[in-house]
């Protein structure tokens, strides 16, 4: 055991030499990057060969995104070299990467929301010019969508801003795989399944396998370790800006990966905790989806964690928003008996105030309580921020820094702090763990359960079946309706998939 | 050294520097003549731009597309209402001021009602409202110049050792506006809405109420400005507010408030207002024609927006 462990940790010596293996699509040698005092990358060697799917894992802030920005040409290393197809690139850039056949699907979606799907496709393909470019762009993207996500239900003339986040991600992914005059050798997928449900995520990963089998390459970044273990040929683990392990996927299993990543403790204790809990508190929420005809209600009591499951975009978010609205203005079919706070999943469009500090972003939901007379007390605001920084572990030297100084996972923690630090008795969570690393997730799960024990009610929409383990009760949604109502003991992935696809009227 | 640095980091410092430069250039030209008088005149005139500028600043901070174009018409009508209510009698000054405030606030409230109920973009709503207000003003004031009561006229021109009392009061008011912006729930909410209206709604900000209050506040300040202008220039008339359409927006932008919303700057409004007034004085002193004056004002505003846009974005 100890021996094989050492095997994984040891870096492959060949990775140190340029030109030694000229078949590599991309190769970084001793890449370093600093952002102010923060060392994002310290001397990373990394390479991708042809016909290879490299899985890249690590906690938020481990340096994965920084490394990928370098491969994609959106950022340059402070020191170190980058080579593509065996030649060293001196002036590497996004357009150069595009020419050399390297594409990237970043975590923060990059489609223009005001344009339609075909127009967004055109942005990446300068050759789609002249008469009929729109039709050709539409054919290109529709063909790729059909290939990757059969039955996707997206039209090339849909305005991107009107699509659900899951569908936007599908378009983003499909667009990266479209080919016109430039070659395509390597696609970087940074959290490609974060907004997809289990079904579409499966379609995408199957496509990635076909793509790799045809001799092309992929880099797959995902916090869903199972995805990486099942689909990558080789796994590279990063921690604190360094590559700490690189080996064939077969050499790892889930526990092993978590250990190498420096992961948090296992999740057994949670199961025990859940079993210990029982009894029904006072009613907090009773809500019926607008299109529900058969009189089924979603019911949540004090201290309960309620899961909203099913395929992405089947009315879960709509119901959460209806409940959110009902808290301030009475609404037919929805009964809410406590203040409500919402944790957004789509951080950029629903959560973050980009001009503000971390502390201000946390305080906005609790302004009334932070007042001293008529004025907001700076001291109380700082206290609230400090309390939650400690409680939820927001990694920053100063809570007065801008919110964007945080990594994605820590930004999400700040949004959790905003909701949990408020007076809300009901917390709505709109798939908030998108693109958040395992360590952060486990910390937040603990916190959610602890808050529930204190009497808070959680309504938790999630696209990750694993997260439903935390819930007391699960409602499965399909086409805007509740089609199944499971207790924790009845819960299984098969059951949810079955209900999601079943033809319940 | 560090204090110089931190001062340079404040976006409002530039508008004050610009005002200072313009002032120096003018007194160099005149050989030091009228330096003090120029400051007094600049303060007296800047007050009117600052008052509407603050209202406009809150509106613009609400985010892209939010702007109050009804201010000139609002100022015109309120000046007539104030003068008519005062009716030339000193005992009615307070009533006249209240009437002007109420008139302006009502206009602001109607503006928001148009935006909210009919879902008209603010630019169109406030612009079309201003045509209606102007017609009301013309038929209400009958194009006559109505004189202010002598006490009110004296008050608006009152100076203590060369500093207009109105300017002192306005400084106090702007300090209050600054506190409201940074330290009160209202101001925080305005800033939140300006950065991301959906996130603000989901964070529990009462978006509708805050927007309503902001348009009403802008209207009320326009009304107050109308009354004061009528006192200062000794008479109300329909066109009295005309120059405040461009000026109110210009001082907000030059003062360092973000046109994209979510970032406001109160001291900058003062600096920018002084700068605009002094710039006008300078160009007049240099004997430049009215056309060139307008041209230069326009170019300067474009220049400032370009320079401010060149600032490194947060993301």
Q: A333 to chain B, minimum CA–CA distance in Å?
A: 21
pLDDT digits (tens, 9 = 90+) for B299-315: 877 877 677 654 444 33
For B74, B151, B175, B237, the CA distances from B93, given in Å and listed in that order, are: 19, 8, 25, 18
Which whole number is the average pLDDT over A424-445?
A: 84
Question: Quick one: tokens of A473?
Answer: 């009760």
Q: What are phi and psi of B275, to 5 degrees?
A: -60, -45
Q: Report CB contact under 8 Å: B202, A376.
A: no
Question: Does residue B300 fall inside a structural domain?
Answer: no
Question: Quick one: tokens of A474?
Answer: 């699960």
pLDDT digits (tens, 9 = 90+) for B133-180: 999 988 887 766 778 899 999 999 898 888 899 999 999 999 999 999
**Which stretch of A59-68, A126-135, B2-11, B288-297 has the lowest confidence by average pLDDT?**
B2-11
Q: pLDDT value at position A279? A: 55
Q: B204 to chain A, minimum CA–CA distance in Å?
A: 6
**Among partner residues A344, A368, A375, which is closest to B202 by beta-carbon distance?**
A344
Which whole number is the average pLDDT over B262-283?
A: 90
Cβ count near A478 (within 10 Å): 18
Phi-psi domain of B149 (left: phi exceeds 0; alpha: psi -120 through 50; beta: other) = beta
Say yes or no to pLDDT of A241 above 50.
yes
Quick one: which H or E segment has residue A348? helix A347-350
Which whole number is the average pLDDT over B4-20?
A: 75
Q: State percent of chain A over pLDDT 90.
A: 23
Residue A357 pLDDT level (bands cut at 50, 70, 90): very high
d(CA B263, CA B188): 10
Q: pLDDT value at position A251? A: 86
Question: Does residue B132 fall inside a structural domain?
Answer: yes
3-state secondary structure of A318: helix
Q: Which residue has the tokens 């597309």?
A: B65
d(CA A168, CA A196): 10
Say yes or no to pLDDT of A462 above 90.
no
Residue B273 pLDDT level (bands cut at 50, 70, 90): very high
Contact A151, A113 (CB under 8 A): no
d(CA A244, CA A239): 6
Cβ count near A375 (within 10 Å): 14
> What SS3 string covers A366-411?
HCCCCEECCEECHHHHHHHHHHHHHHHCCCCCCCCCEHHHCCHHHH
DSSP string, B126-145: HHHHHHHHHHHHHHHHTTPP
Question: Quick one: tokens of A90?
Answer: 């001196």
Q: Smallest Cα–Cα separation from B55: which of B177, B148, B145, B155?
A: B177
Q: Provide, as residue numbers in chain B, all residues whose Cβ is less than 8 Å from the Cβ of A367.
A: 185, 188-189
Which whole number is the average pLDDT over A286-305?
A: 84
Quick one: which H or E segment has residue A309? strand A305-310
Which whole number is the average pLDDT over B83-98?
A: 90
d(CA A461, CA A83): 43
d(CA A410, CA A418): 12
Q: What are phi and psi of A450, to 5 degrees?
A: -65, -45
Q: B110 to chain A, minimum CA–CA distance in Å?
A: 23
Residues 6+ apart with CB under 8 A from A504: A478, A481, A483, A484
Q: Report CB contact under 8 Å: A354, B204.
A: no
Say yes or no to pLDDT of A302 above 90.
no
Question: Does residue B307 fall inside a structural domain?
Answer: no
ipTM here? 0.86
Q: Smallest Cα–Cα separation from B207: which of A364, A460, A491?
A: A364
**Which stretch of A91-105, A249-263, A345-359, B21-35 has the lowest confidence by average pLDDT?**
A249-263
Q: pLDDT value at position A59? A: 73
Q: pLDDT value at position A171? A: 92
**Which stretch of A164-168, A259-263, B93-97, B115-119 has the lowest confidence by average pLDDT?**
A259-263
Give me the total of CB pairs closer than 8 Å, taking one residue from chain A and one from chain B.
65
Question: Does residue B5 fall inside a structural domain?
Answer: no
Domain extent, residue B179, equals: 47-267
The length of chain A, given as a count of residues: 505
Whole-prediction pTM value? 0.72
Task: Provide the domain count of chain B.
Answer: 1
Q: A126 to chain B, minimum CA–CA distance in Å?
A: 26
d(CA A196, CA A462): 10
For A339, A376, B102, B178, B188, the CA distances from A372, given in Å and listed in that order, are: 22, 6, 30, 17, 15
Q: Report CB contact under 8 Å: B199, A350.
A: yes
What's chain B's average pLDDT?
A: 88
Q: Report CB contact under 8 Å: B183, A376.
A: yes
Question: Quick one: tokens of A52?
Answer: 């290879």
Q: Provide, as residue numbers in chain A, all residues whose Cβ is less than 8 Å from the Cβ of B183.
A: 375-376, 378
Question: Quick one: tokens of A153?
Answer: 């239900």
More confident residue, A60 or A434: A434
Question: Does residue B199 fall inside a structural domain?
Answer: yes
Q: pLDDT value at position A504? A: 40
Say yes or no to pLDDT of B64 above 70.
yes
Q: B309 to chain A, minimum CA–CA distance in Å?
A: 15
Which whole number is the average pLDDT over A204-227?
A: 89
Chain B interface disruption, residue of A322, A345, A353, A421, most B CBs within 10 A: A353
Residues 6+ apart with CB under 8 A from A230: A205
Say yes or no to pLDDT of B295 above 80.
yes
Chain B, nearest residue to A360 by Cα: B188
> What SS3 string covers A144-190?
HHHHHCCCCCCCCCCEHHHCCHHHHHHHHHHHHCCCCCCCCCEEEEE
Question: Does residue B181 fall inside a structural domain?
Answer: yes
Q: Provide, as residue numbers in chain A, all residues whose Cβ is less than 8 Å from the Cβ of B189.
A: 367
Q: A409 to chain B, minimum CA–CA distance in Å?
A: 17
Phi-psi domain of B168 (left: phi exceeds 0; alpha: psi -120 through 50; beta: other) = alpha
Question: Does residue B55 fall inside a structural domain?
Answer: yes
Look at strands A87-88 and A79-84 and give their pairing: antiparallel
Cβ count near A57 (within 10 Å): 30
Residues 6+ apart with CB under 8 A from A300: A283, A284, A285, A286, A306, A426, A457, A459, A473
d(CA B11, CA B4): 13
Cβ burial of A96 (10 Å; 0-12, 13-18, 19+) is middle
Residues 6+ apart with CB under 8 A from A295: A288
Q: Provide, as residue numbers in chain A, all residues whose Cβ is less than 8 Å from the Cβ of B188.
A: 360, 364, 367, 376
pLDDT digits (tens, 9 = 90+) for B197-240: 999 999 999 999 999 999 999 999 999 999 999 999 988 888 88
Question: Does residue B284 fall inside a structural domain?
Answer: no
Look at strands A375-376 and A457-461 and give their pairing: unpaired
Residues of B within an 8 Å Cβ radius of A: 179, 183-185, 188-189, 191-192, 195-196, 198-200, 202-206, 262-263, 314-315
Question: Quick one: tokens of B131?
Answer: 């045509």
Q: Smallest Cα–Cα separation from B167: which of B49, B37, B279?
A: B49
d(CA B301, CA B292): 14
List the beta bridge partners of residue A336. A285
Q: pLDDT value at position A15? A: 41
DSSP string, B206-245: -HHHHHHHHHHHHHHHHHHHHHHHHHHTTSB-GGGGTTHH
């Amino acid at each position: 055991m100890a021996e094989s462990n050492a095997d994984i940790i040891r870096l492959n010596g060949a990775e140190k030499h340029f030109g030694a293996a000229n078949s590599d699509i991309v190769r970084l040698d001793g890449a370093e990057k600093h952002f102010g005092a923060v060392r994002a990358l310290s001397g990373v060697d990394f390479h991708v060969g042809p016909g290879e799917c490299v899985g890249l894992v690590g906690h938020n802030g481990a340096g994965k995104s920084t490394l990928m920005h370098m491969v994609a040409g959106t950022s340059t290393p402070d020191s170190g070299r980058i080579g593509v197809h065996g030649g060293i690139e001196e002036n590497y850039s996004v357009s150069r990467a595009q020419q050399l056949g390297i594409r990237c699907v970043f975590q923060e979606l990059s489609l223009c929301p005001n344009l339609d799907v075909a127009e967004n496709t055109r942005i990446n393909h300068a050759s789609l010019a002249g008469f009929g470019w729109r039709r050709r762009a539409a054919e290109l993207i529709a063909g790729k969508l059909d290939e990757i996500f059969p039955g996707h239900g997206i039209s090339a003339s849909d305005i991107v801003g009107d699509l659900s986040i899951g569908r936007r991600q599908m378009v983003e992914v499909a667009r990266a795989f479209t080919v016109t005059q430039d070659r395509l050798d390597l696609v970087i997928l940074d959290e490609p399944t974060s907004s997809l449900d289990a079904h579409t995520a499966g379609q995408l990963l199957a496509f990635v396998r076909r793509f790799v089998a045809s001799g092309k390459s992929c880099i797959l970044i995902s916090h869903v370790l199972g995805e990486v273990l099942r689909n990558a040929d080789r796994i590279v683990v990063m921690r604190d800006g360094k590559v700490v392990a690189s080996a064939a996927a077969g050499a790892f299993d889930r526990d092993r990966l978590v250990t190498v990543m420096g992961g948090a403790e296992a999740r057994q204790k949670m199961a025990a905790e859940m079993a210990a809990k029982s009894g029904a508190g006072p009613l907090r929420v009773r809500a019926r989806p607008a299109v529900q005809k058969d009189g089924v209600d979603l019911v949540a009591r004090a201290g309960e964690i309620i899961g909203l499951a099913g395929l992405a975009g089947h009315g879960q978010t709509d119901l959460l928003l209806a409940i959110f609205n009902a808290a301030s203005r009475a609404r037919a079919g929805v009964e809410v008996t406590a203040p409500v706070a919402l944790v957004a999943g789509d951080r950029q469009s629903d959560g973050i105030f980009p001009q503000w500090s971390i502390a201000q972003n946390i305080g906005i939901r609790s302004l009334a309580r932070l007042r001293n007379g008529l004025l907001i007390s700076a001291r109380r605001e700082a206290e609230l921020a400090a309390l939650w920084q400690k409680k939820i572990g927001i990694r920053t030297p100063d809570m007065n820094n801008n919110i964007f100084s945080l990594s994605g996972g820590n930004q999400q923690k700040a949004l959790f702090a905003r909701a949990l630090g408020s007076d809300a008795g009901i917390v709505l969570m709109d798939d908030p763990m998108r693109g958040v690393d395992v360590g952060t997730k486990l910390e937040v799960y603990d916190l959610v359960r602890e808050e529930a024990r204190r009497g808070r009610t959680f309504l938790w929409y999630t696209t990750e079946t694993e997260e439903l383990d935390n819930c007391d009760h699960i409602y499965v949604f399909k086409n805007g309706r509740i089609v199944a109502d499971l207790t924790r003991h009845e819960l299984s992935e098969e059951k949810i998939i079955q209900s999601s696809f079943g033809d319940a009227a | 050294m560090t204090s110089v640095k931190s001062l340079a980091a404040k976006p409002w410092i530039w508008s004050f520097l610009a005002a200072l430069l313009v002032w120096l250039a003018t007194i160099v030209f005149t050989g030091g003549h009228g330096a003090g008088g120029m400051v007094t005149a600049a303060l007296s005139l800047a007050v009117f731009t600052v008052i509407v500028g603050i209202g406009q600043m809150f509106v613009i901070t609400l985010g892209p597309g939010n702007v109050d174009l009804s201010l000139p018409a609002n100022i015109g009508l309120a000046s007539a209402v104030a003068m008519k209510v005062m009716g030339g009698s000193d005992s009615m000054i307070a009533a006249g001021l209240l009437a002007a405030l109420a008139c302006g606030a009502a206009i602001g409230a109607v503006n928001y009602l148009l935006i909210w109920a009919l879902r008209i973009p603010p630019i169109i709503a406030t612009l079309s409202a201003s045509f209606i207000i102007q017609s009301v003003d013309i038929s209400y004031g009958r194009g006559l110049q109505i004189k202010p009561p002598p006490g009110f006229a004296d008050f608006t021109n009152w100076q203590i050792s060369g500093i207009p009392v109105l300017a002192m009061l306005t400084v106090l008011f702007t300090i209050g506006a600054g506190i409201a912006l940074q330290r009160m729930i209202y101001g925080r909410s305005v800033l939140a809405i300006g950065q991301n209206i959906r996130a603000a709604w989901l964070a529990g900000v009462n978006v509708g109420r805050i927007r309503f209050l902001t348009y009403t506040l802008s209207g009320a300040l326009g009304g107050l400005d109308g009354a004061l202008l009528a006192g200062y220039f000794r008479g109300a008339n329909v066109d009295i507010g005309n120059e405040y359409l461009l000026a109110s927006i210009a001082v907000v932008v030059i003062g360092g408030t973000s046109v994209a919303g979510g970032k406001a700057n109160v001291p900058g409004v003062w600096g920018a207002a002084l700068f605009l007034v002094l710039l006008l004085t300078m160009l007049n002193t240099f004997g430049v024609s009215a056309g060139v004056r307008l041209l230069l004002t326009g170019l300067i505003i474009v220049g400032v927006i370009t320079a401010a846009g060149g600032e490194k974005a947060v993301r």
